[in-house]
Amino acid sequence: MLKLIVFVLLFLNIAYITIAYLKKKDYMIFNMNFNQFSEATRNRAWTYWYVYIIMINLGLGFLFASILFKGWWYILVIVLCAIIALYAFYKMNQLKKET
């Protein structure tokens, strides 16, 4: 039962983040102010932020799955999610420096 609750909560988190990304509303996001980006780079900032958050959530899901199930490929997927998340975070911070 706990496994199901964890995966449902991760799925709901990903769904909420996707809705916030599609609506592009600042007030839906805690601790993120997209007004710090210029108007020209704001859409790319939203995309980098979305990729960053989704990769963190997917990595957490695979981390939980690696605890429950045996397999070495879960670790590879977790590392891949971490690399993509760090790259998106780096690119988002580069956009802050452009403004």
Percent of the chain at pLDDT > 70 equals 93
Q: pTM for this structure?
A: 0.83
Domain spans of the chain? Answer: 2-21+39-98
Across the chain, mean pLDDT equals: 86
In tens, the pLDDT along 45-79 reads 889 989 999 999 999 999 988 888 888 899 999 99
| Dist CA 28 CA 20 (whole Å) | 6
> DSSP alpha helices (H): ranges in the chain?
2-23, 42-68, 73-98
